[in-house]
Chains A and B, each alone.
Chain A
Amino acid sequence: MLIDWHVHINDPKYLGKPWWPVEVPMTMEHALETHRVAGLDRTVISNAVHYIRHMDSVKETVAAIESSNRHLAKCRDLHPDKFIPMATCIPGGGDEFLKELERAVKEDDARAVIINSSHKGHYPDEDAAKPFFKLATDLDIPVFIHPGDATTPAMADYRLASSVGRPADDCLSLARLIVRGIFEQFPKLKLVGSHLGGGICEVIGRMDYAYEYQDFCVFLGSYEPMLIKHPPSHYLKMMYLDSVSYAAPAAECCLKTMGEDHFMFGTDSPPLVPLKMKGLKMMDQIGMTPAQREKVMGGNAARLLKL
């Protein structure tokens, strides 16, 4: 089974201005076309709702998320043999967001939930997000962490907010979840990081020695209160990461770090419509055995999504 874990369909209500500077190509039609071109069995569709950062009230934001959730469910209803929808949620947003997530899962049969690595400066390791992770584990759905928008002035030009800023925020978010003990609190949580974890497989060695050498590395700062019982890499391997990178050596690094049971094929296309086949062909260049390939290209996703 060939499953693309990482495809975005934006709610048509919010495709252009003022929500995006330009109209974005994240449409059902593009998702259908790329699904066909790549010969996929299933496309997992999600909406990272970058536009909600322009909204102020809880009511407006929840309504926008509900609208998106319903739209993705509708896409699945129109193409039940192709699409698997994820719901969207803001982890620390409060009860209204959790109610909508529960509705989307129970009524719309959303099979996973996508959250942003940060939202308006809030990260999902915050205490306010605990009820969200409790709900996600109770519902037994995977949580897909995807970069929000964390642009700084130094990333403002040459598309670096996308190329560098988003992965960096993803990496920071995953790192914070690890050291703040998310897996100690929710050991059954199925956490999926996008874009190879945004670089966490490159810095995990640093995270490990910062933990292991508690006393010697005192100059790196405090590790109190200690919320974990194992080196960070132990928890990293409890996560899943997708392959979206368009760089085969990087994907291979991720595969070697995570193992084939915790690595999943994805393309981020749409929006990267012209890159669908490149993302698929990259998977032939990372030295997988047929058994590994079966898991990475769809088996792991099918298991998480209970297909």
Chain B
Amino acid sequence: MIIEWHTHVYPPEEAAADIAAWDGKTGPSWAGQCPMTIENVVAAHERCAIDVTVFSNAAHYMRGKAAADELKAIQRWSDYAAEIQGRRKGVFYGFATMLPCGGPPFIKETERAIRELGLKGILIHSSHKGHYPDDDEARPFWELVQDLGVPVFIHPPHVGFGEERLKEYRLASSVGRPADLCLALSRMIVRGILEDFPRATIVASHGGGGICEVIGRMNYAYELQEECYFLGSYAPMKIKHEPGHYLKRMYFDTVTYHPPAAQLVVDTVGPDHVLYGSDAPPLTSLKPRAIKLVEGLRVSEQDREKIFWRNAAKLLKIDPPVAA
């Protein structure tokens, strides 16, 4: 039994648009070959004998949209995701895509996407046009998601910071995206989002983008308040425990394509907080490798089952299929 947590779909017009693939303004043209289509998701699902697939929209194109067009693009995706979910009930589950700092219209759209359309979770970017999800503007969003009771999946945008050094050799994807994700998660921890909204269910993509490597640094920076004076201020204090405490309340997917890195995530947060994912599509050909990675994790068979589907089923609040 496998629940695939991490696949991406674009609405057909965005997938078909012969525009720059990174953000709608720069990057290579899709040239009619955008891999993030529902057809590709279904084919990969069937080819790899996946039981349930979660599909979300990383919506890199949002970065290139004018502010006035953002809400419309978000609403369009919600409607399309609901349409797919309705056509393939119980097998494909869609997530809304949202801008947490967007303000009241986006809060309203979040409610519509979950309560009216029945989408199963919400994808947010680790940053959007310089705004991070710990910003004060995002607090109404976090209040709402606690009440909605759906998971919030944090995923990098095309690139967050340091862009000038990430343009070559695909480094924006390889290094920049995980780095932005790591920064967003660390900011959410130290700025008290998990302290203030304890019922929010937060799932980080890509094994957390490296946060399991730097959590030791975050812990001593917190613990040694006075002795590490030379690292700078920690005021105003917004948390009551070391950052590692909050990290373990988050969930992480296994999208790393490097077995020691996935094992690091499991060893850091425990097997109850790890979900199998592949990021395929777009990395369609790599899905078997992503499955093999989980098969090779140093965990008990019971825990492997949790990573392959039980943890995801719990977060999605879905009854496991009879076959399970």
Contact = CB atoms under 8 A, between A and B. Distances in A.
Given A205-B261, A221-B28, A249 B268 contact: yes
Interface string B270-311: 000000000000111110000000000000000000000000
A199 B132 CA distance: 21
10 contacts: A158-B233, A159-B232, A171-B179, A180-B168, A204-B258, A210-B174, A221-B173, A249-B263, A250-B213, A254-B260
Determine which residue in B34, B214, B283 has the highest number of CB atoms from chain A within 10 A of its CB, and name it. B214
A168 B183 CA distance: 9
Interface of B: 21-22, 27-28, 30, 33-35, 127, 130, 132, 161-162, 165-176, 178-179, 182-183, 186-187, 190-191, 206-207, 209-210, 212-222, 224, 227-234, 256-261, 263-264, 267-268, 282-286
Interface string A151-180: 010110111111111011001100110011
B264 A249 contact: yes
Nearest to A156: B232
Interface in A192-223: 195-196, 198-199, 201-211, 213, 216-223
* Overall SS of chain A's interface: helix
Contacts of B210: 167-168, 171, 198-199, 202-203
Interface residues of A, number: 68
A257 interface: yes
Contacts, number: 233
Interface string A243-274: 00111011011101100000000000001111
Contact of A172 (B132, B162, B231, B282): B162
Given A158-B190, A180-B168, A219-B282, 10 more contacts: A23-B230, A155-B183, A160-B190, A167-B210, A172-B166, A202-B209, A205-B258, A208-B257, A245-B214, A247-B212
Given A152-B161, A162-B221, A210-B174, A246 B183 contact: no
Determine which residue in B27, B179, B216, B221 has the highest number of CB atoms from chain A within 10 A of its CB, and name it. B216
Contacts of A161: 232
A24 interface: yes
A186 interface: no
| 4 tightest Cβ-Cβ pairs between the two chains A and B | A205-B257, A246-B216, A247-B216, A205-B258
A128 to B, nearest CB: 15
A163 B218 contact: yes
